Amino acid sequence: MASKSFQSPKGMPDILPQDQAYWEKVRKIVKDLSGIYGFSRIDTPIVEDTALFERGTGEATEVVSKQMYSFKTKGGYNLTLRPEGTPSIARAYIQHGMINLPHPLKLYYIGPFFRHEQPQSGRFRQFHQFGFEIIGEKSPVLDAQIIQIFLTICENLGLKNLSIHLNSIGCPSCRPEYRKVLKDWLGAKSKKLCLDCRVRIKKNPLRVLDCKDEKCKQMINGAPNIIDYLCSDCKTHFKKLLEFLDELEIPYFISPFLVRGLDYYTKTVFEVFSDAGEEDPVALGGGGRYDVLISDLGGKDTSAVGAAFGIERLVNLMKKQQVKLSQRPAPKVFLVHLGDLGKVKSLKLFNDLYRAGIIAGEAFGKDSIKSQFKIADRIGAKFSLILGQQEALDNAVILRDMESGVQEVIPLPNIAVEVKKRLRKVVIKK
């Protein structure tokens, strides 16, 4: 019987070594900026109660109705691999009594998420996001700060040609009137909409505005504009947000049919697009305000705003825009061993050098001294440290200048100090 050839599950790719430098750059910048902006990290479970997303994200959303990986445990619990981060943050906020902490509370997260959808470029069934959430403050200045943070991350990643698309989708006070007007308008044209949108009209007509079907997208261009139906509070909030963005000199487009695909949003919604000469701009991420989510999940009435970005999409764009990555400096010292005793001593010397602040190169898997010197030449090592049987017995090491070929026997306890001295001379010569 032939052995089975295994592959990663569809839409759940490996992150290979040659791509890790891009991922590390994203992680480092997110971590560094989170500290600068005053955000603390939070990690939530990869699985949550299914009802958390049904109630928080919205049963009528495509995420919940079509894309969730849900299962029943042996104990009879209904769990779901998290499709997004915000409901988990809201759940943790309520569960751990974070309302008693100083506010606004600033949290960030980074990790894997799961959605069952057709894999394509930048969109996978297992994907990774980082997100920032500010909880406990109504002011639009924090909406602006969330946008500013994400643009600063993109700028520090070296990304260009980005655009901000903004809208306000109102609040529970003014949205019902718009929903009724939109539902009536869509009802008269329902036969021209896709089957999914015909269902959405009944459950949540705003979801039609988020449809990706080309026929539906063309149809909604003539739909009523939600901004015309905002209450005075929502209008003032949106106007002040635009003023903050203007002061920050952040360019934006007002997109009257941008609603995002999640039910908990109120007032501000936004998305960041890469539009570098592309017919169909790629959404790198987005977010908005969710002033009723925490109370909907059983907490006290608490305002909040947040957003999340897809790391795969950022990495793809970094590659496309040929963002330069800082190269790891090559070791200036290389360990060369001869014989088993020399190899054992070299293994310990490698760690001793590391503790002394010296990064050394090695080829412990190779026994040929010729092969080891070839590797030392290839990486540009300035010095090699040779440990053979005799040197191991004498508790010494041969220090060789790779350029001149001059060799010198150094007592093993003194080698770290001697190497540092020689390396400083190399730097001074330059």
Binding residues for L-histidine: 84-86, 115, 129, 133, 260, 264-265
Angstrom distance (rounded) from CA 188 to CA 179? 14
Q: 248-255 contacts: CB < 8 A, separation 24 or more?
A: 248/144, 248/148, 250/144, 250/147, 250/148, 250/151, 250/164, 251/163, 251/164, 252/163, 252/164, 252/165, 252/166, 253/163, 253/164, 253/165, 253/166, 254/165, 254/166, 254/167, 254/227, 255/165, 255/166, 255/167
Q: What is the CA radius of gyration of the chain?
A: 29
Closest CA to 164 of 265, 288, 20, 334: 288
Q: Does 329 sit behind a cis peptide bond, omega within 30 degrees of 0 on the bond before it? A: no
Output the CA–CA distances (angstroms, integers) from residue 71 to 53, 76, 155, in the order listed.
Answer: 13, 9, 40
> Per the structure block, which two tokens stand in for 305?
């705003």
Q: Return d(Cα 176, Cα 168) in angstroms, integer.
A: 14
Feature table: binding site:
84-86, 115, 129, 133, 260, 264-265
Distance in angstroms (rounded) separating the CA atoms of residues 108 and 35: 10
